[in-house]
Structure 1
Amino acid sequence: MASLIEELITTLQQENEIYSEMVPIAKEKSSIIANNDLLALQEITDKEQVFVEQVMVLDKKREEIIANIGVVLCKDARTLKIQDVIKLLEAQPEEQERLASVHANLKNTISLLMEFNNHNKSLIEQSLEIIEFNMNFVQSTRMSPGNNYTKTAGQVNSALPETGMFDAKQ
C-alpha cells in the first residue's frame, strides 16, 4: 500500500507541475485574444495541446493507482476519491500530510488555471459578439435604400425595404 501511496503522490506532483506550466500560457492567451492575433492564438493552442495530452496520460495513471488502492482496501474504485484515501491514512500521518499537501496544491493550481480559462472564454465570447454586431451592421447597410444608386436614382419610386439596423433574431 505504501508504494501505491508514493506513486499517487508522485503522479499528483507531476500533474501539478504540468498545470503550473499551463498558467503562464493561459495568461499570455488573454493578451493574444484581446489583440485578435489569430496566428499567435493557434500557436499557443498547439502548445496547450501538448500539455493536455501529458495530463491525460497522468490522469489515466492516477485512475489506475486509485483502482489498485481500491482493490487493496476492498473499496469500489469508482467511488473512491483522493480525500477518502487521505482519511484512510490516519495511521500514517506522514504520508497523510504529504498526500493532503500535494492534493491541495493541485487543487489550487487547477483553480487558478480555471480562472484564466474562464476569463479567456469571456474574451472570446465578447469578440464573437462584436463580430456578429459588425456583420449585422454591414448587412443592414447593404440593404439600406441609400445605397441603391442608379442612373435614374432620383426618379425611382420604390417602397423602402423594411429591414432594421439589427438582426431581429437576437
Structure 2
Amino acid sequence: MEKLIKELKEILEEELKIYKEMLQITEKKTKVITSGTAKELDKTTQIEQTMILKIAKLENQREKIVENIKIQVGINGEASVAKLTEKISAQYKNEVKELESIRDELLDILNKIKKRNELNSKLINDSLEYINFNINLLTSSATETTYTNKVEEGNAGKSQSLFDAKV
C-alpha cells in the first residue's frame, strides 16, 4: 500500500509540474494572440497538445494506481483522491497531508489555466469578429450611382464588390 501511495504522489507531482508549464504557455499564448502572430500561435498550440498527451498518459497511470488502492482499501465504485485519502488517513498521515497539498495546488493551477483559457478564447473570438467585419467591408457592394449611361442600364441595379467570395 505504501508503494502505491508513493507512486500516486509521484504521478500527481509530475502532473502538477506539467500543469505549471501549461499555465506559463497559456499566459504566453495570451501575448501571442494579442500580437497577432499566427505562426507563434500555432507553435504554442502544438506545445500544448504535446503536454495534453503527457497528462493523458499520467492520468491513465493515476487511474490504475487509484484502482489498486481502492481494492486494497475496499472501496467500491467511483473514488477520488479525496475519498481515498479519507480512508487511509489514519495509517498514512504524512502521505495524506502531502497528497492533499498536491491536490490543492493542482486545483489552484487548473483554475488559473481555466480562467486564462477563457480569456484566450474571448480574445480569439474578438479577433475573428474583427476579421469577419473587415471581410464584410471589403466584399460589400459598392455604392450605386444614380446617373447611368444607357449602355450601362442593364447593369444599373447590380452591385459590384471587391471580392466575389470570402476567404
TM-score interval for Structure 1 and Structure 2 normalised by the shorter chain:
0.7 to 0.9
Q: 2:112: which partner in 1?
A: 112
Give the distance between the partners of 1:132 and 1:154, measured in 2 at CA. Answer: 36
Alpha-carbon distance between aligned partners in 2 of 1:18 and 1:159, rounded to the nearest angstrom: 61
Show the counterpart of 1:167: none
Give the distance between the partners of 1:48 and 1:72, measured in 2 at CA: 36
Take 1:49 and 1:139, find their aligned partners in 2: how far apart are those partners? 36
CA distance, structure 2, for counterparts of residue 5 and residue 156 of structure 1:
85
Query: Which whole-Å CA distance do the structure 2 matches of 1:57 and 1:111 have between them?
Result: 21
Displacement after TM superposition at 1:110 (Å):
1.2
How far apart are 1:75 and its partner, in Å? Answer: 1.8
8 Å CA contact retained: 1:22, 1:51? yes
Q: Which residue of 2 aligns with 1:145?
A: 144
What's the CA shift for 1:58?
Answer: 0.5
User: Does the aligned pair in 1 maintain the 2:5–2:95 contact within 8 Å?
Assistant: yes
**Residues 1:135 and 1:56: Cα distance change in structure 2 (over 3 Å):** same
Q: Give the equivalent residue in structure 1 for 2:49.
A: 49
Which structure 1 residue ranges, 5 or more long, are not aligned? 162-170
Fraction of identical pairs, as percent:
27
Separation in 1, partners of 2:81, 2:66: 8
Q: Residue in 2 aligned with 1:84? A: 83
Which letter does structure 1 place at the counterpart of 2:80?
Answer: K
Question: 1:72-107 CA distances to partner (integer Å, 9 max, x unpaired)?
Answer: 12223x510111012112313212111110111111
Letter in 2 for 1:80: A
Output one character per residue of 1:5-62: Cα deviation in whole Å (capped at 9) or x when no partner: 1111110000000111111111111111111111111111122122111111101111
Give the direction of change, closer, same or farther, for the CA distance of 1:118–1:153 in structure 2 (3 Å limit). farther
Change (3 A) 1:155 1:106: closer
State the number of aligned residues: 157
Pairs within 5 Å for 1:1-170: 1-76=1-76, 78-91=77-90, 92-142=92-142, 144-146=143-145, 152=149, 156=153, 158-159=156-157
- Partners of 1:62 and 1:153 in 2: CA distance: 79
1:164 paired residue number? none
8 Å contact kept, 2:22–2:48: yes
Task: Classify the secondary structure of the residue corresponding to 1:141.
Answer: coil
Q: 1:153 to 1:93 in 2, by over 3 A?
A: farther
Q: 1:50 to 1:159 in 2, by over 3 A?
A: closer
Asked whether the equivalents of residues 89 and 95 of structure 1 are also in contact (C-alpha less than 8 Å), the reply is no
* Secondary structure of residue in 2 paired with 1:145: coil
TM-score normalised to the size of structure 2? 0.83
Counterpart AA for 1:86? T
Structure 2 vs 1, CA of residues 97 and 153 (structure 1 numbering), >3 Å: closer, same or farther? farther
TM-score (norm 1): 0.82
SS of corresponding position for 1:75 = coil
